[in-house]
Structure 1
Amino acid sequence: MSLFHKNGKAKDASAFTNFALKKAALKGNDVIDVFIYFDEHEKATNFPLPRTGRKFISSKLGDVNFMAGGNDILVMGGGAFDETEYVSRSQYLMAVGAKLYDELEDRKITKANWLGMPNHNDFGAIAYGMYVRSFNNGEEQSLLEMGNCTYVGRSELKLDRVLAQAIGTNLTRMLINIPHGVHMGNEQNGLTVQRFVMYLKKQFNVTACFNNREQLANLGAGGILSVGRASAESPALVEVTYCHEDCTTDTPAVYVAKGMMYDSGGAAVKPAGSMKNMKYDMSAAAIAAGMLETFKRANAKCHVKVIFCLAENAVGQNMVYNGDHVVMLDGKKVHNTNTDAEGRMVLYDGLIYAQTQAAPHATCYLTMGTLTSTGKVMFGGRCGLAYAKDQRLGHTLNACNDDTGRINDVFLVPDDPRTDNVVYSGEPGVDLVNSQSTVASGSEYCYKFLKAAISESNRNRYTHVDIGGGIVFGKKDISEEPLSYESGTGWGVALMADFFSRLG
């Protein structure tokens, strides 16, 4: 594979032709070679081949031709980066990788060598796009075996980390795609709270688990219990610890993840059109699992705790009603005005647990959940909204966003202290209101509600990311390549892996 020079200008055509013919003349090479022909200005940059019946190779993205001996060398057009189509060059290169994977998959090509030497970062983005695209039919497809993986300077390119991140990304997509119920006769399979707990115990280091109602009641997790009251299965709070044996810090970073395995809205029941895809309401938990899988496969040297807050917001005779009062894990009483505002209820308990039991002195506390559609209204989707009181923490999140090519884009919303008090109740004996009309947007209100769970000493170590509104589920993956069905996009894994590997 060749990416030419950083300025995007192609190599001289005659030089490439000589290089290609020399490569094709090598004996015993029965593995196809892949060459990507880019054009910086999106012009149809063609060059003639010295063969009878002159052919032309196009740089248009996705155009494929074979040359130098029939099927020895596959040349695919790579097009050019267009900032009106892709959020970053990395996302564009992921799309190139996705296109290449589709072309090779269609031709049943499972092994290939790269013809030419791309630079390290660009090649990593293309490889990541190929690996992520291997999931494009909703399940893992065959992974291309890529040989002679070298880049400029002739140093080896270690694909282990790219592959680890792609496997973590595709795991997240798979978990999001599994229905809550798969019904066959009297059997119900699918991804429920307790099945997800079993999965976590099998795959990761579970250091604490409260997965029945008695355990949660003894813990005092009233917020989580209130959301899962009507469900046939108990809600759960699960603590998972990742700590590499060579990690030098005893202080972890903490990720508190919303995992609503299905959200009907409860007593504030959703309309059918809004409920059909509510299996994706566990996306933050799926992203956390993908991040942990990435760490495990890459042997990341960090120390991270994930608090999974799991429940099913169901309709039933035991459900909490709009207007009920709920006593949370810290003893505060919440006026539950909207049972469809359930994510902030489980995350609140998770934050209290993280600060009082799991990691009282963590380097940071991050909450994530599919909470509101504010981000979609503001940006049309594909952009999470991040909040942080401390600018340094916000800048770290922004730096991670830039370093991962903005394929998991976030927008840092200023923390306005004037809205800190909008979540508090004026009713005697009641501390907080989980949902009400105020000057704050819906997403900001969620952040301020969760911020009320943060102790004063931890305020500068807390950040929140709202990922609602189709960011994590849709008809495109994170390379912006279209899918023929709605699926988990893979958003978030690369960003969270980068963020927590820095702070953990």
Structure 2
Amino acid sequence: MVTARGGLASSTLLSEDVAALAVPVAPPVEGETEVQPRAGTADAAARYGIDLGELAERAGLTGAPGEAWTLQLPRRLLTTGPELPWGRLPARLILVGVGAGTPGDLRRAGAALARQTRGLGRVVTTLGSEGGAHAPDAVRGLVEGYLLASYRQPTASTGTPAKSPATELVLLGRHGERDEAAIADATVAARATWLARDLTNTPSNTKNPQWVAQRASELAGALGLEVRVLGVPELTEQGFGGILAVGAGSASEPRLVTVSYVPADGRTGRHVVVVGKGITFDTGGISIKPRESMVTMKTDMAGSAVALATVLAAAEKGLGHRVTAVLPLAENHFGGASYRPSDVVRMYGGRTVEVANTDAEGRMVLADALAYADAELDPDVLIDVATLTGAASVALGKQTGVLFSADRTLTAGLEAAATASGEPIWRMPLVEEYAGAILSDVADLRHVPQRSPGGGSITAALFLREFVGARAWAHLDIAGPARSTADKHEVTEGATGYGVRLLLRYLEKLR
């Protein structure tokens, strides 16, 4: 829970239930060596009667964003005798580095504060109270960082959204209506990210396609959204050959889920369709993965978790655009009915695809869903999100998503949203010279090149492009940043929920 109150002189600071006060420090100015105080730091030093600058120097603080240090203050031993200067003040005083004070720096500061105060009751802070033209963005960054870093995986997964952290954070300083709105925006974005993390972190012995479809129906139903679930009979009747082929080897049958949000106030806006890859576990199928590569494959449905969380958050915020999430859900297992390399599969809409590698299943289910979105949903903007290729993380590492799009307006909007949200993307080229690599001698297309030109994420994107018609389309390959091996800033170990805040920012700014 995050709330805003008055200045540092507020009586809130004297409440017995306040466990800590956090104040900001910034890097030294040129020519000096001491960290610089920011809003509330000098006031805190005076009230506590402590030279915080000298303490910061002894602690080796530099003021860099994401740096935090806690001073544990003693209480007097006896009930008689003189009161200590800080006797009625919080016993923990936390110095938090804020760097240049940008929204990104404040996001890291909020994350550092969350980790320093985990398990405490009520924390008050002057972080984010500097004011200025970008103050609401700074407050939003601070609250996002704090809430996102507070996330912890459930010890026994039930599929329910993550709970708000027990610590109450009280922001002291100049906080008006715009800052209150920033807190609300950050809270919605964080809750949506928690949901994506929870769904993605759920073990696959619980999380099969039917389970995800049920959770989507429950969550969307609670907000009054329209939900459509297609099972095997409907998928067969309507020709979703890619989804059916991938799911054929598993005892858990595939599903296709559509969740639709329409603004209630009659706003017509744009129609944005987000398609999310939903492989609830990926063995690789007959082209089986090595053991080590399977360990993280419960997270191979991160794209569908992001798509679902995005449409739910859009509804919660009451955005002025129609948003539809399409979730192609399947378990890529192996068995007597598994699809095979050299099979030819007829996709939704009639295109045929020669299968080259059953471990490239993501593009098969996405192709069906994209063709369906193009033919039936009439989107103005079509975006797919997927943990699609190892090549993407080889190219850009584990912190940056890969963006493919030929639409300049869409690209610019997503890049701006990535910067604002702190979820970085990098645009990669749709190299036309590689397009011949996805052609087949026995079908319309080959989903993995027979003679690869390299650029595995590029050829995957070129394959998906064949199913989007003439729509404004973007492909986000999040194979790198969708999961993390350790906590870092606002990212937590396991599923990261990467992409939710990016897409929400895009929808907020879309005109």
**Coarse TM-score class (shorter-chain normalised):** 0.7 to 0.9
Question: What is residue 75 of structure 1 aligned with on the other side?
Answer: 93
Classify 1:223/1:153 alpha carbon distance in 2 versus 1 (closer, same or farther; 3 Å). Answer: closer
2:403 counterpart of 1:386: yes
Question: What is residue 158 of structure 2 aligned with on the other side?
Answer: none
Pairwise mapping of residues 177-256 of structure 1 onto structure 2 (< 5 A)? 177-181=201-205, 190-204=206-220, 205-211=225-231, 213-246=232-265, 248-249=267-268, 251-256=270-275
Q: What is the RMSD of the two structures over their aligned residues, measured on CA atoms?
A: 2.9
Identity of aligned residues (%): 25
Residue 401 of structure 1: CA displacement? 1.3
Residues 476 and 489, structure 1, Cα contact 8 Å, conserved in 2: no
Residue 501 of structure 1: CA displacement? 3.8
Classify 1:231/1:112 alpha carbon distance in 2 versus 1 (closer, same or farther; 3 Å). Answer: same
Question: What is residue 380 of structure 2 aligned with on the other side?
Answer: 363
Question: What is residue 342 of structure 1 aligned with on the other side?
Answer: 361
Residue 303 of structure 1: CA displacement? 0.8
Residues 112 and 144, structure 1, Cα contact 8 Å, conserved in 2: no
Q: Please give the per-residue CA displacement for 1:141-174, whole angstroms capped at 9, x wherever unaligned.
A: 6343334665367865222211111000111111
2:283 counterpart of 1:264: yes
In 1, distance between residues paired with 2:416 and 2:47?
48
Question: What is residue 79 of structure 2 aligned with on the other side?
Answer: none
2:498 counterpart of 1:491: yes
2:299 counterpart of 1:280: yes
In 1, distance between residues paired with 2:20 and 2:122?
12
Residues 247 and 253, structure 2, Cα contact 8 Å, conserved in 1: yes
The correspondence for 1:321, drawn from 313, 331, 340, is 340
Pairwise mapping of residues 42-57 of structure 1 onto structure 2 (< 5 A)? 44-45=34-35, 56-57=54-55
Classify 1:26/1:72 alpha carbon distance in 2 versus 1 (closer, same or farther; 3 Å). Answer: closer
The correspondence for 2:189, drawn from 149, 165, 169, is 165
Q: Partner letter of residue 504 of structure 2?
A: A
In 1, distance between residues paired with 2:306 and 2:218?
17
Give structure 1 stretches of 5+ with no counterpart: 1-18, 83-87, 182-189
2:141 counterpart of 1:125: yes
Q: Partner letter of residue 463 of structure 1?
A: A
2:487 counterpart of 1:468: no
2:338 counterpart of 1:351: no
The correspondence for 1:58, drawn from 56, 76, 89, is 56
Q: Partner letter of residue 45 of structure 1?
A: V
Q: Please give the per-residue CA displacement for 1:263-286, whole angstroms capped at 9, x wherever unaligned.
A: 000010101000111000000011
Q: Secondary structure at the match of 2:250?
A: coil
Q: Partner letter of residue 363 of structure 2?
A: R
In 1, distance between residues paired with 2:301 and 2:397?
21
Residue 27 of structure 1: CA displacement? 7.0
2:470 counterpart of 1:450: no
Q: Secondary structure at the match of 1:209?
A: strand
Question: What is residue 3 of structure 2 aligned with on the other side?
Answer: none
Residues 193 and 501, structure 2, Cα contact 8 Å, conserved in 1: yes
Could you tell which deviates more after superposition, 313-322 or 246-255?
Answer: 246-255
Residue 356 of structure 1: CA displacement? 1.2
Q: Partner letter of residue 384 of structure 2?
A: T
Give structure 2 stretches of 5+ with no counterpart: 1-6, 37-41, 62-66, 74-84, 155-161
Q: Secondary structure at the match of 1:449?
A: helix
Residues 434 and 449, structure 1, Cα contact 8 Å, conserved in 2: yes
The correspondence for 1:99, drawn from 112, 117, 121, is 112
In 2, distance between residues paired with 1:154 and 1:332?
53
Could you tell which deviates more after superposition, 144-153 or 46-55?
Answer: 46-55
Residue 112 of structure 1: CA displacement? 3.3
Residue 135 of structure 1: CA displacement? 0.9
Residue 70 of structure 1: CA displacement? 3.7
Q: Secondary structure at the match of 2:248?
A: coil
Classify 1:155/1:206 alpha carbon distance in 2 versus 1 (closer, same or farther; 3 Å). Answer: closer
Question: What is residue 112 of structure 1 aligned with on the other side?
Answer: 124
Q: Secondary structure at the match of 1:445?
A: helix
Residue 196 of structure 1: CA displacement? 0.7
Classify 1:464/1:70 alpha carbon distance in 2 versus 1 (closer, same or farther; 3 Å). Answer: same
Residue 140 of structure 1: CA displacement? 3.5
Could you tell which deviates more after superposition, 418-427 or 440-449?
Answer: 418-427
Residues 206 and 238, structure 1, Cα contact 8 Å, conserved in 2: no
* TM-score of the superposed pair, with normalisation by structure 1: 0.83
2:27 counterpart of 1:40: yes
Residue 101 of structure 1: CA displacement? 1.8
Residues 261 and 279, structure 1, Cα contact 8 Å, conserved in 2: yes
Q: Secondary structure at the match of 1:196?
A: helix
Q: Partner letter of residue 489 of structure 2?
A: S
Residue 92 of structure 1: CA displacement? 3.5
Question: What is residue 420 of structure 2 aligned with on the other side?
Answer: 403
Residues 129 and 479, structure 1, Cα contact 8 Å, conserved in 2: yes
